[in-house]
Structure 1
């Protein structure tokens, strides 16, 4: 029998609480990973997924310690190795792709220099070939114009582009085992699908093992052979991907699947009730008992063991035979239909945004250094109480538009107004306190907005003091109430951001935005770091606030199923240009623009039998062409020279659904019907 590449035996990890008691984060975990095997680890934030993956590298976060058990890589104990030995292994034979690309990219070094350093330390590539190999790696992860990307600093890339650069760095050392901690969180649907195909091919060709930690069960379904479900630091289900995702035999796994928004279902998903127990708070019985619809008395008094079933699965549940009684789909209600006569809450008139502006010296000499606009010609009106979804690939200008509305990036042209026709000052420093309160931005990466030196209480108290003058008991009570709304308890108030998981930090960022009681909330990938159950709860919260308080949202997300569940209308962006705009139901049912069809075809479903529709010839671009249709180089429906030379016109239907294309909507829909019929045949 071939020895496992990674072997984790009865490992328990914990920390010392304020009372002096040892509180477990991982409890008696057994896991083996063979060469060439791909294992997915899923579960809610705080379940111990990332801690387990990092432990496989012989690493524990500050404050944690190994309580018992062992971790071996290639037969050698990782916790017995010296720091020098570990440095040789990490990044080479054993590589990690972290959830936050900022943890692996040095902000003061260009991308090319960082890739070359990884090649020098962890590969056998000759020095003379470093640059060519680095460009090849950047091309593999679908970064546009890799040679240009080599010269850029991390802050000059979008979040998704930074993540792809981090993936390229991890692959530079040609690892034997690759640990992936939410590696595709910041990627758009087409890039994610292509990256996952790349990882599958590399794993097969190199016989590379992968341990894939993710909230995205669609990604897990695409790349993993086996799935391990974790809850409260324990393994509760371990089986083949097909068994776990098609017919899970643990109530918790079924609850996770019911929490996932589906592209084929416009309803909001239903979140699991309650929260996981805090470390050390699971009690003597089943850790899931307080949230389980199948719980009985024995579940409270005895801890179930991990039982091996005849099917080959391992399950920790006394009543797993009854799990099929629980639904695998959600049935959440969506908010009431939007009033077509609602007052505009936000209006963008011919907005253009450029990152590169002419310098003073060039202006004095009369030089024209104006670059192609990153975003151009944006005409959008958002009604009060409406949710507008902005979708498109990484670098399409979605976050750029949000930053302009928030005053963080002044437009180079056009006008932005809010309710009542009030023009917004271009820069945040020029805006009134009322405008600052009414417009709140939630960032994609919570580390960009949470002060690491402040407690959660201090972070939430800032807007409450500034805008409402709260103090004392009223301030503490309101802070606790806000945390409860995002499914975090008052016991989080004394913690620092570094003591929270990625999903927990994002919930704090959301809570702080709503503490200001805003009229307009700009959501930049706010659910990308959340597990599916918390994501469902946050979507329900956003929907409830829209219904009860008339909150307006501009919602940016790469997850097109999430956008469908929450949005009234969808705007599709390509290279900073609008190409489709219309009611969500219509855009998803009949995606008229060829680019929208490409996006929807790349969506990953949590079903191992469903594959995305991808084109091997599809390539990404760094900037739009100087004239003609922005999508001309990638369009599978290109007519001819008119697409190269003439800007496409807007074409509308009676319901307001419009596309910007030289084809008519009717012609495109007819072609799509023929494609569907051909695939079915």
Structure 2
């Protein structure tokens, strides 16, 4: 008997005008000890389905039909009070953003003990014992000390461990994970996913894993459901789904992912259009308007969700992948790396360092230390190239980008743009400011919500006294068209756009002054895979049109692999390896680079099963007191005595490839020998 069985679930959300069919006729089952993955774009209904199970629907939401049988009980028929007894007790939940899910006014210990006392009836002392037990279970360092910590005092990875501890505190039979690793670095993500896998095996619980990351699904799910517009369009065993994809939407999701290995594509596949409006009457296949292979039948007739003869699993499509009427998606691959070192040097970092004082005291502030954000970093960026900076949060890559555009000033060293210092010649800093622009990670937070798009794009033109009023309006309309938005968008506010559209507005603002170099700080980290491919393709198109130079900052190595000509790997304020895409991804020399590559989830179950999980160790040390010698030695599987006392010099490995390691890897990363 299945632990969870959903039968013809229909969830609606009442609006002022009509109803949203958020979940429309979904059925599936989940057995004890298994993991079911649910994938799809934002708006596909995957999160709403998880919230329907928990009874946590938004205002106006209700279950219009169907059953949710959990351990033999229909949750859809329970009262609000009865559902509260189930949530947290029998069903745990891990939300996407632990910082907004945890109470900032309560200590970690209080948040765990509250759940335990509410559902298990424990005394205060016994609840504290249970809190220590679950914190130890999820690998929390110094769990007794962490009981008195507040959420803001923990890193993102530790906060997510707290969320998991709360979810597990009452020994639930089912845990629902809603995008549990989206906001985390790849190394912390790998640790969290490995932790969840171990806990599932120890506790025998079932997991419902909701995500848009096909790589996470490939390595962790037993079965996979692909959702689109509130419906299931394909359902299969994980290995089977990736080996035998039938639905065009599943194929499109996989084709939109930048590959980590092999030749990168000239362009990523981008799913055209947007998901349908679920408030209206939907006729035919809901994916037909975005499907390259749709025929007239698809637009007027709804395909049945079934397993046709000769196929291995159910799907809903008249013309599946592999059918005679279909031609699979084919991507043109790049042949070799671009040569950029024969171009003029546009930007030079010359032994640059940046430190921030750490103070203490409510009234009289006294300095108690310094955060060494960037330490003695040197690199060059050539005109027209894309230079990628990768590393975990706290490695200094964003600080480096902010120093490029003048938002931060280095404490030591020099930064030269087009051959002239932008640190020592203050007049030139102002003169060159329009040549250097920043594209922020979160477009919603960086766009003024009180200003229309026209005002947002006009502001830099006004500050630099460029053009008449009419010429500025013409320039704004041209910018919007360049980034794929209609000129009419200039009269709308940021909140009226989707995440992908807001990122296009951010790119338009960066282009407003016709810069030579743009620093893109995590430009697509918050976007779905399909929207991400659109923005990445747009960035490449604009680079070709305007001869732009990019510095792309990201912890997503697949994005950097697609965009960058050369890549710099940073760790705890140090640049530890620099090379071409082939150098970094095919013959990395530094163990940290190897660790980053092994931590990236890939949409291939076979690859995920054979990865060296043991290489992902610990969290980033404090930047206030970085380790002596090689800063990575505390987490390195290959460290020896010299690594703990002597800082390794940057060594030349041919061409543009350099790495700072006493014992560089001598083989391809995937074939790396056992730790020495």
TM-score by length of 2: 0.84
State the SS of the aligned residue for 1:554: strand
Residue in 2 aligned with 1:523? 520
Q: Distance in 2 between matches of 1:320 and 1:603?
A: 30
Query: Are residue 587 (structure 1) and residue 584 (structure 2) matched?
Result: yes
* Deviation at residue 592 of structure 1 after TM alignment: 0.5
Q: Distance in 2 between matches of 1:432 and 1:123?
A: 63
Q: Distance in 2 between matches of 1:265 and 1:142?
A: 36
Q: Which moved more, 1:391-400 or 1:407-416?
A: 407-416
Aligned residues: 657
Residue in 1 aligned with 2:553? 556
State the SS of the aligned residue for 1:631: coil
Q: 1:155 to 1:442 in 2, by over 3 A?
A: farther
Choose from 453, 457, 464 the match for 1:464.
457
State the SS of the aligned residue for 1:564: helix
Choose from 526, 540, 545 the match for 1:543.
540
Residue in 2 aligned with 1:196? 193
Q: Distance in 2 between matches of 1:411 and 1:125?
A: 54
* Deviation at residue 347 of structure 1 after TM alignment: 3.3
Residue in 2 aligned with 1:511? 505
Alignment of 1:226-305 (within 5 A): 226-268=223-265, 269-280=268-279, 283-305=282-304
Residue in 1 aligned with 2:177? 180
Query: Are residue 51 (structure 1) and residue 52 (structure 2) matched?
Result: no
Q: 1:192 to 1:357 in 2, by over 3 A?
A: same
Residue in 2 aligned with 1:378? 377
Q: 1:614 to 1:492 in 2, by over 3 A?
A: farther
Q: Distance in 2 between matches of 1:175 and 1:489?
A: 52
Q: 1:327 to 1:163 in 2, by over 3 A?
A: farther
Residue in 2 aligned with 1:171? 168
Q: Is the 8 A contact 2:437 2:518 kept in 1?
A: yes
Calculate the aligned-residue CA RMSD, in Å: 4.1
Q: Is the 8 A contact 2:452 2:493 kept in 1?
A: no
Residue in 1 aligned with 2:440? 442
* Deviation at residue 131 of structure 1 after TM alignment: 6.0
Q: Which moved more, 1:487-496 or 1:241-250?
A: 487-496
Q: Distance in 2 between matches of 1:449 and 1:41?
A: 31
State the SS of the aligned residue for 1:184: coil
Q: Distance in 2 between matches of 1:249 and 1:293?
A: 14
* Deviation at residue 272 of structure 1 after TM alignment: 2.3
* Deviation at residue 60 of structure 1 after TM alignment: 2.2
TM-score by length of 1: 0.83
State the SS of the aligned residue for 1:85: helix
* Deviation at residue 10 of structure 1 after TM alignment: 3.5
Q: 1:333 to 1:355 in 2, by over 3 A?
A: farther
Per-residue CA deviations over 1:429-484 (Å, capped at 9, x if unaligned) read x98597378422422x5564466x65xxx463442131235989986995797499
Q: Which moved more, 1:411-420 or 1:604-613?
A: 411-420
Q: Structure 2: which 5+ residue stretches go unaligned?
A: 463-467
Alignment of 1:69-468 (within 5 A): 69-111=66-108, 113-121=110-118, 127-128=124-125, 153-157=150-154, 159-268=156-265, 269-280=268-279, 283-309=282-308, 313-320=313-320, 322-323=322-323, 325-327=326-328, 330-331=331-332, 337-338=339-340, 340-345=342-347, 347=349, 349-354=351-356, 356-357=358-359, 369-371=368-370, 373-405=372-404, 411-416=410-415, 418-419=417-418, 421-423=420-422, 435=433, 438-443=436-441, 448-449=445-446, 458=451, 460-468=453-461
Q: Is the 8 A contact 1:487 1:534 kept in 2?
A: no
Q: Distance in 2 between matches of 1:118 and 1:409?
A: 44
Q: 1:651 to 1:362 in 2, by over 3 A?
A: farther
Q: Distance in 2 between matches of 1:171 and 1:553?
A: 44
Residue in 2 aligned with 1:632? 633
Q: Distance in 2 between matches of 1:22 and 1:472?
A: 43
Q: Distance in 2 between matches of 1:138 and 1:506?
A: 37
Query: Are residue 570 (structure 1) and residue 572 (structure 2) matched?
Result: no
Q: Is the 8 A contact 1:398 1:573 kept in 2?
A: yes
Q: Is the 8 A contact 1:389 1:556 kept in 2?
A: yes
Q: 1:673 to 1:336 in 2, by over 3 A?
A: closer
Q: 1:171 to 1:421 in 2, by over 3 A?
A: farther
Q: Structure 1: which 5+ residue stretches go unaligned?
A: none
Q: Is the 8 A contact 2:285 2:303 kept in 1?
A: yes
Q: Which moved more, 1:556-565 or 1:105-114?
A: 105-114
* Deviation at residue 571 of structure 1 after TM alignment: 1.6
Per-residue CA deviations over 1:271-291 (Å, capped at 9, x if unaligned) read 223333233467411112233
Q: Distance in 1 between matches of 2:284 and 2:261?
A: 38
Q: 1:40 to 1:540 in 2, by over 3 A?
A: same
Q: Is the 8 A contact 2:173 2:205 kept in 1?
A: yes
Per-residue CA deviations over 1:626-676 (Å, capped at 9, x if unaligned) read 421112223232232x2221111111134131111223x5xx315979746
